[in-house]
A and B are shown apart, each in its own frame.
Chain A
Amino acid sequence: MSVPVSWYLALSAVLFAIGAAGALTRRNGISIFLSIELMLNAGNLALIAYARQWMQHTGQIVVFFVMAVAAAEAAIGLALFIAVYRQRRTIDVNRINLMRW
């Protein structure tokens, strides 16, 4: 019995929800970033599942682009964290709040 595509979508939803919960509740900037990567991967899984269902390459190609964009985002995000750490000596997002109300 082959696995129905909706199971993959359910898994993608679960991973996305876990990632979103992490991104919203963590204090450490890098941990938030890891949760965001988790969400991106959940999206990738859904895209590949749909590519399988409709037998098209489009889903796989979009995942390709998402991975490239995630890599670019990770590079710049981590560079920003390094720069912020130099100034504020912390990565705790509760303490990096100069621009908050």
Chain B
Amino acid sequence: MSEQTASSVRYVEATKRYPGASSPAVDKLTLEVPAGEICVLVGPSGCGKTTAMRMVNRTVEISEGDVLVGEDSVRDREPAQLRREIGYVIQQVGLFPHRTISENIGAVPQLLGWEKDRIRQRSSELLELIGLDPELGDRYPAQLSGGQQQRVGVARALAADPLVMLMDEPFGAIDPINRERLQNEFLRLQAEIRKTVLFVTHDIDEAIKMGDRVAVMREGGRIEQYATPAELLMAPANEFVEDFVGADRALKRLALMRVRDIHLWEAPLAHVGQATGEVRAKLESPDVEVAFPLLVDAERRPLGWLSERDLAAEVVPGRPDSPLGPVLELDDVMRDALADLLQHETQYAPVIDHAGRIAGVLSVEIISEFLGSPEAKSDEHPAVERPHG
């Protein structure tokens, strides 16, 4: 991919006053977004987050102060020229209904005077990047689903390889299942293209999921806390942030963790043909929390749980009495792992590594102990890898 260019964005006491309003919509906002990162502006409606975002491409004119893209003030730029260098994605997508998908994607390159062949090539390249069938390029927007339209909206914003992307509640109008999918797709895309992204949302869960950094804002565009999602959840700066993040912030922490980040139980292992007495002895060891032995093959891959009836025999049978149930992976996001356990109505499940070998057992108990521990609430826990890292 050719996209390697991104610029930092710096607000310097940026202020927006609307005529007739008693207080500024955005009051002396100072904020720095490093190049290549996703910064989420989150806050209740009317907090000025969208106004702040729109200052960057001057769809909102700055009253006082400045916004710098890279080293350059946006105030020195001709607005239309500036906007062609900044990707723009909005909630209602705003595709041109009278242009085909390819023409929509090629809109900014066309404004920039690219050659026809280069535009066509770029369009199909982007269709591929967002995972749309290239044949859809000749369709009109009305022929696409909402989710497909928003993907095209993202592709259109990326077409001219912008320095910065502005995304205003881009997935806000999509149903929850597709929203999740689009968020994941965008994170995967971002891992590849590394744009500087200003992302506006009122949904704290989305902010935590999408942001490298999250700026929690309140009225007047005042930043209450600007931190990584983990910091935000572990150490809210004040009551406003704490309220906004929600009482379930410990639970939200799970979205940032992988199964490998928590201390797992050891599984009492059993092999086919092993004497059951040996296995029983293992179960009685004080460190073993699991009530039943896990049957594994020669490669230590789990086959199933042994029951009391299995253990009544002389040797371990080749076919365990109980099914294996859910199997988790070390790389699973903790929240999904918990959801898996709850959905299967099971207390615990084996965890495997990427080779499929047993790595331990995760239980509802481990998670609830973690949530109740000071570790979940303090910042002592080591910073965790970003889910899309």
Q: Do A and B bind each other?
A: no
